[in-house]
Amino acid sequence: MSDRSSGGDGGGSHGDHGQYNYPPLMATNYTSWSIRVQAIMEDQGVWEVVELPEGTSTAQTADQSSKDKKVRAHLLECLLDDLLT
């Protein structure tokens, strides 16, 4: 398993410098995990990378590409190491 901690409060708590600690995804917590992650990403202004708003073009701008990388990094942070091997 990994040494990651969700902060002891179920995840999604603020870390240093206003960044969030994303909750770990496990076999038994998908529903609550997805609700928390969506709320965090909406707060950070990156949820549109996961779900495009109605009428939005799929053409990527430099800003969208940057957000895409940020979202990918946050989602990978949620996965325990044994899921990535």
- Mean pLDDT value across residues 19-43: 92
- Cβ contact 52:46 at 8 Å: no
Evaluate whether residue 67 is within a structural domain: yes
Evaluate whether residue 84 is within a structural domain: yes
Domain count, the chain: 1
**pLDDT score of 78:** 92
**pLDDT score of 51:** 87
Kindly report the number of other CB atoms within 10 A of residue 73's CB atom.
10
Evaluate whether residue 74 is within a structural domain: yes
Which of 2-6, 24-28, 59-63, 64-68 comes out lowest in average pLDDT? Answer: 2-6
Which comes out higher in pLDDT, residue 83 or 40? 40
With bands split at pLDDT 50, 70 and 90, how would you rate the model's confidence at 8? very low
pTM over 0.75: no
Evaluate whether residue 56 is within a structural domain: no
Evaluate whether residue 85 is within a structural domain: yes
Residue range(s) defining the domain that contains residue 20: 1-49+61-85
